[in-house]
Amino acid sequence: MRAEERYLETGAPGLVRHIKKAHMFAVVPLSKPAVKCFASELRAVHNLAVKFLEKIIPLEKLPSWRREIRSKGKKLVVTNGCFDILHVGHVTYLELARQYGDVLLVGVNSDSSVRQLKGEGRPVNCENDRATVLAALACVDAVCIFNDVRATRLLAMAEPDVWVKGGDYTLQTLDQDERRVVEQVGGKIVILPQVPGKSTTGLLEKIGSLCPGA
């Protein structure tokens, strides 16, 4: 079993099984050409699933991936965050971030680091699920899960041409170690405003009000 297939069975549970089950219920004449067509279609759907999962890069492979991007003369944009429950604020921010370069890498906080940042009960979605959803977005070229609360090590390994942050930050209120790493590699820092009224915390509060005691 290939690495991508193992991930489909573990990181995104049952995805392969659901793909196969969906095709089992398709109305297909039982001729040999139809069977061959069915097999080709199944492979195409499976390969599509694997294709976006290939965007998820293990942290230890990030330096070699970065060298490849640089060798192609492409401008790398990096952003990072929890991305717990993906919403319109996230996708708007990511689409805008992508426009600052040729390749967008999204660093995703691991489950343990999200708990340290957000408290018990978070994240709602596990790190593999969050990375998978982000990888499925057309504007995202690569995703990397990192265990640290701060993105300092991720940024040092990625060496971004542009680092994008969202929210009410200024250069002075950014984490200064993260800022220093980006500036040392010659990267530009861009701060994008949040979409008003759109946040994971707000969504969870709304869900809580609709389902009291849940």
pLDDT digits 0-9 by tens, 79-88: 999 998 888 8
Q: Are residues 40 and 119 located together in one domain of the fold?
A: no
- Upper half-sphere CA count for residue 150 (Cβ side, 13 Å): 11
Residue that terminates a domain, selected from 12, 38, 53: 53
Q: In terms of residue numbers, what domain contains 170?
A: 59-204
214 in any annotated domain: no
7 versus 54: the higher-pLDDT residue is 54
Q: Are residues 91 and 41 located together in one domain of the fold?
A: no
How many domains is the chain built from? 2
Instruction: Give the pLDDT band of residue 46 (cuts 50, 70, 90).
Output: low
Nearest to 47 by CA among 2, 11, 13, 12: 2
Q: Are residues 33 and 88 located together in one domain of the fold?
A: no
> According to the model, what pLDDT value does residue 29 have?
40
Provide the CATH number for the domain around residue 131: 3.40.50.620
Do 172 and 180 form a contact (C-beta atoms < 8 A)? Answer: no
Output the DSSP codes for 35-88.
Answer: HHHHHHHHHHHHHHHHHHHTTB--GGGHHHHHHHHHHTTPPEEEEEE---S--H
> According to the model, what pLDDT value does residue 207 have?
67
| pLDDT tens sequence across 104-151 | 999 999 999 999 998 888 899 999 999 999 999 999 999 999 999 999
Q: Are residues 20 and 100 located together in one domain of the fold?
A: no
213 in any annotated domain: no
129 in any annotated domain: yes
Cα–Cα–Cα angle for 1, 123, 168, nearest 5°?
120
209 in any annotated domain: no
Q: Are residues 73 and 166 located together in one domain of the fold?
A: yes
> pTM of the predicted model, to two decimals?
0.73
Q: Are residues 133 and 179 located together in one domain of the fold?
A: yes
Q: Are residues 78 and 180 located together in one domain of the fold?
A: yes
199 versus 68: the higher-pLDDT residue is 68
> According to the model, what pLDDT value does residue 38 have?
43
Do 78 and 163 form a contact (C-beta atoms < 8 A)? Answer: yes
212 in any annotated domain: no
Strand order in the sheet with 76-81: 142-146, 103-109, 76-81, 162-166, 188-192
Q: Are residues 84 and 178 located together in one domain of the fold?
A: yes
Given a cut of 60, is residue 40 above it in pLDDT?
no
Cα–Cα–Cα angle for 57, 49, 113, nearest 5°?
40
> According to the model, what pLDDT value does residue 166 have?
86
Helix or strand or coil: residue 167? coil
Q: Are residues 27 and 82 located together in one domain of the fold?
A: no
| The token pair that represents 97 in the structure block | 């971030």
